[in-house]
Amino acid sequence: MATLSFNTLKKTDVTWLPLIPEHWELIKVRHLFKESTKKGFPNEPLLVASQKHGVVSKDAYGKRTVEATKDLHNLKLVEVGDYVISLRSFQGGIELAYERGIISPAYTVMKETKIIDRRYFKNLFKSPPFISLMTLCVKGIREGQNIDYPTFKNEYLPFPPIGEQKAIAEYLDKKNNEIDKFIRNKEKLIELLGEERKAKLFNAVTKGINVIDGYKSSSINWLPVIPGKWNVKRLKHTVVKISGGITPSMDNANFWGGNVPWVTSKDMKSDIITASEMGITKKALQQTSIKMIPANSILLVVRSGILQHSLPASLNGIPITINQDLKAITVNKKLFLPAYFRMLLKGIEANILHECRKAVATVESIEMSDFTNFYLPVPPLEEQQKIIEYISQIFNDIDLAISNAQQEITAIKEYREALITDLVTGKRRIPQ
C-alpha cells in the first residue's frame, strides 16, 4: 500500500489553518466565490440541502420535509455545481448541488469565480477544520443560529494548484469508494446477524431446545405444533395484572417537575430503563387517576408497535408511573419466569403485531382485547430457565460480533475523516 508523504509547510495567520504547504495560496472566499441571489423560477423543482447527500431534489431525498407551496418565485435558484450554505452548515459544512432547482431564500448560494476542482472544495467544505471555521461565523442563538455570510466571505481558504486539487479529489474519490464498500459490507453483516438473532429467539421460544418428547398439535393458528410437554394459554390467563397510565393535565403546573418518574416510550431506549425525561409531583398522584405501577413489570408500548423492557423496582429508589401509550404487565410467576416472558414477547413480536395491531386515525396501536386473548406457548418453568441460558449465550456471541462490526465502521469513518483533513489542508501529499 502506498503511504502518504508529508508536505513542507509554512505558517499562516489563519486560526483554523495554521499551516499550509509552501506552494499553496491562501485566498479569501469572496475572491473564489460570489453570492447568487437569482429568483423568479417558480417552475423549477424544490431542493433539499442534506448534510449526507448534498443539495438534491426533494424526490431524490426521500424523507418528509416541510415543503413550500406558495411564493415559489421568492426561492433562490441553485444550479449544478453551486455550493449552498444551509441553516445547519455550522454543524456539517457547506453542501454541493447535484441538481438544478430552487431552495429557501434563507440559504446562501455560492458560485465559483475561479477555475477550481469542485470535488476538492466539496471535501474541504465537509472537513472538521473547515467546520470549526463555520462555527466562528455563526450569528443568532440556539435554534436560530445560521452563518453570517458577510463575515464568512472575508475568511481565507487554502488554494492548491488546480492540478493538485484534481489529484487530491481523484484520490479521495477512490478511497471513499473503497471505504463505502467496506461500510456497506459491514452493515450487511450487522443486518444478517440481527436476522439470525431474531430467528434463533423465535425458534427457541416456539420450538424449544433439545426436545426429546416430540411435538403435538396446538390451538395456535400461527404455530401448528409445540413441544410435547408445553401448554397453550391465552395471555390474559398468564398474567396477574395489566396496568395502564395517563398524562396528567399539562396545563396544571402543580402536576409537573416533581420527583416521581413518569415513563413514556421516549424513555425506553434500552432493555433496562434507567431514567425518565419527565417527572410528576405527589399532588398529581393525589388529584388524578394515575397510579404507581407494580415493581418489576414488563412494559408494553401499545402505540406504533410493541416493545418489551424489563423494569427495575424503581428509578433511583422511587416507584414510577407511565403514560397512556404504555401498559405494565405483571406476570403470573407460577406459569412464567418474567425474564422468559419478556423473551417470548420479543421472539413472537411479529406474530403479535399481525394479530393485534390496528389503525386508529393515523397511528397504529395494539388492540388490547385481541392482545389479552392472544394464545401463548407455555413451557415448563425449568425449560424456560434453560431457554433463557441458551438464548443469553447466543445473544452474547451475536451481540459481540455486531459490536465488533460497528466498531470497525466507526474506525474506518474516523480514518476517512482524518485522511480527508490531511489531504485538503495539505498536511500530507497523495502517493506519487
Q: What is the pLDDT of residues 172-188, one digit of tens each?
A: 999 999 999 999 999 99
Quote the strand ranges of 247-344, DSSP E. Answer: 256-263, 278-280, 298-301, 308-310, 321-322, 326-331
| pLDDT band of 416, cuts 50, 70, 90 | very high
Residue 205 backbone phi and psi in degrees, to 5:
-85, -5
- How many CB atoms sit inside 10 A of residue 392's CB? 12
Residue 304 backbone phi and psi in degrees, to 5:
60, 30
Cα 254 to chain centroid distance, Å, stands at 35
Cα 394 to chain centroid distance, Å, stands at 26
Q: Do residues 327 and 302 lie in contact, with contact meaning Cβ atoms separated by under 8 Å?
A: yes
Q: What is the pLDDT of residues 235-278, one digit of tens each?
A: 999 999 999 999 999 999 999 999 999 999 888 877 778 788 99
Q: What's at 3, amino acid-wise?
A: T
Residue-level pLDDT at 314: 64
Residue-level pLDDT at 318: 75
Could you state, in order of their start, the residue ranges of all structural domains in the chain?
1-10+160-192+382-432, 25-159, 209-378
Does the domain formed by 209-378 have CATH 1.10.10.10? Answer: no
Q: Is the pLDDT of residue 27 over 80?
A: yes
Q: Do residues 341 and 300 lie in contact, with contact meaning Cβ atoms separated by under 8 Å?
A: no
More confident site: 227 or 273 = 227
Cα–Cα distances in Å, from 251 out to 127, 247, 255, 258, 263?
46, 11, 9, 15, 19
Residue-level pLDDT at 307: 66
Contacts of 391 (CB under 8 A, 6+ apart): 200, 201, 204, 343
- 25-159 and 209-378 in the same fold: yes
Q: Say how far apart CA 8 and CA 147 lie, in whole Å.
A: 33
Cell representation of residue 207: 420450538
Mean pLDDT of the residues in the chain: 90
Mean pLDDT, residues 400-425 taken together? 97
pTM of the model: 0.81
Cα–Cα distances in Å, from 134 out to 103, 120, 148?
21, 18, 9
Q: What is the pLDDT of residues 340-399, one digit of tens each?
A: 999 999 999 999 988 888 765 456 788 889 999 999 999 999 999 999 999 999 999 999
Q: What is the CATH number of domain 25-159?
A: 3.90.220.20
Q: What is the pLDDT of residues 30-78, one digit of tens each?
A: 999 999 999 999 999 999 998 888 999 988 776 655 555 578 999 999 9
